Structure 1
Amino acid sequence: MFPLFDLTLQLNGFQMKEAKAELRKIVAFSEKEHEVFIENKKVEIVDFHLQNNPFYKDLVGITTFTNWEELPVLNKQNLQKPLQERLSKGYSIKNSYVNKTSGSSGTPFIFAKDKYCHALTWASNIYRFGWYGIDFNTSYQARFYGIPMDFIGNKKERFKDFLSHRFRFSIFDLSDAVLEKILKKFQNTKFDYINGYTSSIVLFAKFLQKKDIILITICPSLKVCMVTSEMLFEDDKLLLEKQFGIPVVNEYGASELDLIAFQNTEGEWQVNSETLFVEILDENNKAVPNGTSGRIVITSLFNKAHPFIRYDIGDIGILDEKSTLQKPILKKLIGRTNDVAVLPSGKKSPGLTFYYVTKSIIEDDGNVKEFVIKQTKIDSFEIEYVSEVELNLEQIKKIKKAIELYLEPDLNFIFIRKDSLERSNRGKLKQFKSML
């Protein structure tokens, strides 16, 4: 089959051949070579941003650095300025890859990667999926993700799916009638793998359990299922493996960075040590020993367009005692769970649906700093938000319209502007919470 996926990335200005070659080289390093590589990349990326990024230089307050531990730890609040003010010299919105984070931590913002860095992100995805015999050019993906509802956005996404050799099941409505249609599609399609949001895939597995169906018996081409974006609990993993009849792989990533950890074929959650440097820090920004929980702080070693240096992702995790610099193993990820919203019509929607809804309030002026959504009754929700300026009627109307489109009409929403939002005892902000 024609390598359409690679070609599409190449045509969009992502240097895939070079990125794949560089990744192969990094993967082949000996332990000692890897250590030297990491140290060099850390110095190189910090020096680059101190010389070329006024935003980062201001933040750090020095022009040359000698001690890694003295560099500030960044968080999303630091980055809530218009993107233009955060880009390095020579990089613009036009010549970089620009996207929004999902805001699953409640703190959305717009970020950029230079095109080579983003090509390396794809190379790292391709490499890891390859562990399970999945090839993005030839393997057919059953995708459980959100999709824009507006006509042009929807068609664009569907076209991207076609080029990426995948079929998308929209996760905004996962009622039994819709799950029945999804099941029919599996019966009539030779899917190679499943990929998507954990909670949606778990809802599908529960539906199969109710019907006493093992997915591989009706879709024997299936090899593996990759879940992402939300916490995968052990009992859910067992349910998925039982109802699908295939291995279930846990993925942990962040759109502004890369794949952070991906379950290897030995069942370990292997941390990406090729394009990222991952630290686990205590509340004083000091590294904790392996086996101890702390904040996950990540440095993107290749992103020149935008600094992600010692960036606190908002999650808590533990590195395994047997971790090495070349092969760190994530023993446990704490946090990152999402609830499911149950609506008056009986429709069930994963908490991540709210990412697509709240996208309407995310403007690049950084006005809305954080938000959480609480379901207080079956038809009532509260949106608590922190912003410099109160949302106006026009913006509220826009949000309500998006809610009708993605969820259903006649839901009640109360908007509450706050100075700060309630956080868990780990400092984690949960974007969606069901009080039912």
Structure 2
Amino acid sequence: MFSIFDITLLLNGFPIRKAKSDLDKIVALSAEEKKQFIENQKQTIVEYHLQNNAFYQNLVGSKNDIKWEDLPILNKSNLQSPLQNRLSKGYNSKNIYLNKTSGSSGEPFIFAKDKYTHALTWASNMYRFGWFGIDFNRSLQARFYGIPLDFIGYHKERFKDFLSKRYRFPVFDLSDQALEKVLKKFTHTKFDYLNGYTSSIVLFAKFLRKRNLILRDICPRLKVCMVTSEMLFEDDKILLETQFGIPIINEYGASELDLIAFESPQKEWRINSETLFVEILDKNNNPVPNGTEGKIVITSLFNKAHPFIRYDIGDIGILDEKSTLEKPILKKLIGRTNDVAILPSGKKSPGLTFYYVTKSIIEDDGNVKEFVIKQTKIDTFEIEYVSETELDLAQIQKIKDAISLYLEPNLDFKFIRKNNLERTARGKLKQFTSLL
């Protein structure tokens, strides 16, 4: 018998019952069976896209009997073209899951999953959250995320939260006054767990520390906190554990893929090897030994609507020395940090707030290739961007309107078009940087 969360997925065409059943079978495989499953699925997904996806055919070229290690590395710039040019045969806007990446790397694009693959993503989430006694159909989530602020988008998201047993705390304003309201909600709501952006949850913990409060004393039903989307540093983890009084679980994922790694009850950052294949490669695209840092390259083993094969996600990581093909363990993730913007009103907003601002300039024509945002003064920001054509006055006004809505009015934004953007020594863009 299905509960409301599962029913909602089914009504939207996502076969969650089959996805859960199939995932259970994969999880139950022996070590040798798991190795064979991964190799078979790698071959199957490559063959499928070579036969059914013109975009991937062009990327690979006319080579025959190509080996895995010779397949091209797919990067985000490859994907900044109209989505219809990247879909496989038989897929269109009516039979896919469609979304936009957050652009946290500074390279946004629109992506698709077939509906079975998206159901598998949810099954994967449910399986891993279940390690800590969390049931998506029954456990109430305190959600620290962004939310659209236009009337229709806002209420649509609130309704989805209701169906998903979530209460959302929008992260655009994390001032003390706003956090007082968050705290009050915890005093009379039986939340089971927290989930959301690392920086936002850390700011809430600092707020609690100033008041010498432990969250579980206020909300005794709390079991666990999962943080995502940004790096969790060890001192911040200690702060969260101290102020919340519950285990803090580190999550690493990507909307275009799935949960990539999830901290287990054994304190291992277990890589998802059920729906993904993760490689760590050097600058020449050769595998590095376990314990050595390299770029994280990921293959979605099931997505037939859109190829994510040997996809360079833009992060640097290290596999644990004891990591194996069937049980990969992420030792360390390098990067994915976001600063907090402090605004003239005293309002604090995490860097990921700019996802909701930059959504207004992400068009499906691939014009804006990359962007970074820098805070140079308390009221002054620069948007540096690379594009095929310069942003026109209407587009700039649209961005300014979004900034006023999501941040606050009367901020000064300068738009600077460039041929290329400055990267870190590791070749990664940081979307938001505060120079204050």
Secondary structure of the 2:77 match is coil
Secondary structure of the 2:78 match is coil
Q: Which amino acid aligns with 1:27?
A: V
Is 2:231 the partner of 1:231?
yes
Could you say which residue in structure 1 is the equivalent of 2:356? 356
Could you say which residue in structure 2 is the equivalent of 1:380? 380
* In structure 1, distance between residues paired with 2:36 and 2:361: 44
Post-superposition offset of 1:355: 0.6
Post-superposition offset of 1:181: 0.5
Deviations 1:206-254 (CA, angstroms, capped at 9, x unpaired): 0000000000001000000000000000000000000000000000000
Secondary structure of the 1:135 match is coil
Post-superposition offset of 1:2: 6.6
Post-superposition offset of 1:65: 3.4
- The equivalences for 1:87-102 within 5 A come to 87-102=87-102
- The equivalences for 1:32-431 within 5 A come to 32-62=32-62, 64-431=64-431
> Unpaired segments of 5 or more residues in structure 1?
none
* In structure 1, distance between residues paired with 2:427 and 2:327: 28
Deviations 1:120-144 (CA, angstroms, capped at 9, x unpaired): 0000000000000000000000000
Q: Which amino acid aligns with 2:386?
A: V
Secondary structure of the 1:130 match is helix
Post-superposition offset of 1:93: 1.4
Please say if residues 50 and 64 of structure 1, whose CA atoms lie closer than 8 Å, have aligned partners that are also in contact. no
Deviations 1:344-396 (CA, angstroms, capped at 9, x unpaired): 00000000000100100000000000000000000000000000000000000
* In structure 2, distance between residues paired with 1:69 and 1:190: 50
Post-superposition offset of 1:326: 1.2
* In structure 1, distance between residues paired with 2:335 and 2:349: 20
Q: Which amino acid aligns with 1:426?
A: R
Structure 1 stretches (4+) deviating beyond 4 angstroms? none
* In structure 2, distance between residues paired with 1:40 and 1:396: 48
Q: Which amino acid aligns with 2:242?
A: K
Could you say which residue in structure 1 is the equivalent of 2:29? 29
Please say if residues 114 and 305 of structure 1, whose CA atoms lie closer than 8 Å, have aligned partners that are also in contact. yes
Could you say which residue in structure 2 is the equivalent of 1:15? 15
Post-superposition offset of 1:66: 3.5
* In structure 2, distance between residues paired with 1:81 and 1:179: 41
Please say if residues 171 and 353 of structure 1, whose CA atoms lie closer than 8 Å, have aligned partners that are also in contact. yes
Distance 1:213 1:2, change over 3 A: farther
Deviations 1:413-432 (CA, angstroms, capped at 9, x unpaired): 00000000000000110000
Q: Which amino acid aligns with 1:264?
A: S
* In structure 2, distance between residues paired with 1:144 and 1:123: 22
Secondary structure of the 1:143 match is strand
Please say if residues 141 and 167 of structure 1, whose CA atoms lie closer than 8 Å, have aligned partners that are also in contact. yes
* In structure 1, distance between residues paired with 2:195 and 2:411: 30
Deviations 1:64-89 (CA, angstroms, capped at 9, x unpaired): 43410000000000111100000000
Q: CA RMSD in A?
A: 0.8
Deviations 1:141-162 (CA, angstroms, capped at 9, x unpaired): 0000000000000000000000
Q: Which amino acid aligns with 1:380?
A: T
* In structure 2, distance between residues paired with 1:99 and 1:381: 27
Q: Which moved more, 1:56-65 or 1:397-406?
A: 56-65
* In structure 2, distance between residues paired with 1:169 and 1:392: 34
Deviations 1:255-277 (CA, angstroms, capped at 9, x unpaired): 00000000000111000000000
Post-superposition offset of 1:63: 6.2
Secondary structure of the 1:372 match is strand
* In structure 2, distance between residues paired with 1:290 and 1:251: 21
Secondary structure of the 1:131 match is helix
Secondary structure of the 1:148 match is coil
Please say if residues 47 and 64 of structure 1, whose CA atoms lie closer than 8 Å, have aligned partners that are also in contact. no
Post-superposition offset of 1:62: 2.7
Number of residue pairs matched by the alignment: 436
Secondary structure of the 2:231 match is coil
Distance 1:53 1:63, change over 3 A: farther
* In structure 2, distance between residues paired with 1:420 and 1:198: 29
Q: Provide the TM-score with structure 2 as the length reference.
A: 0.99
